[in-house]
Amino acid sequence: MVKIGNIELPDFPLLLAPMEDVSDPPFRRLCKMHGADLMYTEFISSEGLIRDAIKSRQKLDIFDYERPIGIQIFGGDEEAMAMSAKIVETVQPDIVDINFGCPVKKVVCKGAGAGVLKDIDLMVRLTKSVVESTHLPVTVKTRLGWDSDSINIYEVAERLQETGIKALAIHGRTRTQMYKGQANWEPIAKVKANPNIEIPIFGNGDIDSPQKAVEYKERYGVDGVMIGRAAIGYPWIFEQIKHYRETGELLPEPTIVKRMEAAKNHLNWAIDWKGERTGILETRMHYTNYFKGIPNFKPYRTKLVTQDNLVDLMQTFEEIEKEFIPTLEEI
């Protein structure tokens, strides 16, 4: 059993990564249904929360069926981070998570996200300000370092543990890599093997199959894995990993019926949460993966990602059912 503070997780838990414009309530709901053990919200600007920015506040929406659920914040100012942690606490998540890993320029330029990797002392101060401002367990997600010449995750892990964080998720890339190249899990394994490290260590980066998840567990010894891009439009990856780990056998790919059900649920839940127009637009990115590998599907995919009203979308779903379900039902 893995514990984050007083939160008990299964042996080798599967975590859904916090992804901007992806990890919203409709997406998280699907991932929870299919086996995610711990999920995080999209990251939230500490300054946005303090000035009551509408988009930042909306990201605080969490639901009981998601638990355990963590809310992730980012920022480069100690006072703002402490205040935002107190705001987060009011909606009663299970965890407060700090983002020290986002490589996007607009975040890094503000001295936040992966930008803090250049200044470990600042990272420690920011983390300590959050830990001391909340009674909730605090976790951190970060990267190996700024670039290949400054991999500092070994020092970072020990010093953040000293501040009182309860778990650490490490993406196996540097900031300069962004999301390119192959994730390097060797430094993650070294952090986990450090006898001074007592908190759970979760690995992140390139987990896109049940085989790889199990292989990385055995090779690198991490307490669990965090899955990001591989879950977009494919929430089944969590249950597939669990089944493979328990039985050594692969589950069959989801049928067209299951893919349709997931896509329509995602769309309807997004509309319920954000309204019709925003819900439709923000669901589009998921359709390619929902229907990946279906022969002759391109014309329908084009419709799904270009239509902007619910009536037309539902008509397209009906067309897909008539065209594909009779012949691909068992696929």
Residues 6+ apart with CB under 8 A from 328: 255, 256, 294
Can you tell me the distance from the alpha carbon of 23 to that of 116, in angstroms, rounded to the nearest whole number?
23
Q: Catalytic pick from 9, 49, 85, 102?
A: 102
Please report, in range form, the residues annotated as the binding site.
Answer: 72, 141, 171, 228-229
Please report, in range form, the residues annotated as the binding site for FMN.
Answer: 72, 141, 171, 228-229
Can you tell me the distance from the alpha carbon of 115 to that of 126, in angstroms, rounded to the nearest whole number?
13
Q: Is the Cα dihedral 216, 18, 76, 165 positive or negative?
A: negative
User: Taking a C-beta distance cutoff of 8 angstroms, is the pair 73, 41 a contact?
Assistant: no
Which single residue is written with the structure tokens 């998280």? 28
Q: Is 102 a catalytic residue?
A: yes
For 168, phi and psi rounded to 5 degrees?
Answer: -135, 125
Give exposure, 194-218, as e/b (b: 16+ Cβ within 10 Å).
Answer: eeebebbbbbbbbbeebeebbebbe
For 67, phi and psi rounded to 5 degrees?
Answer: -65, 145
Residues noted as catalytic: 102
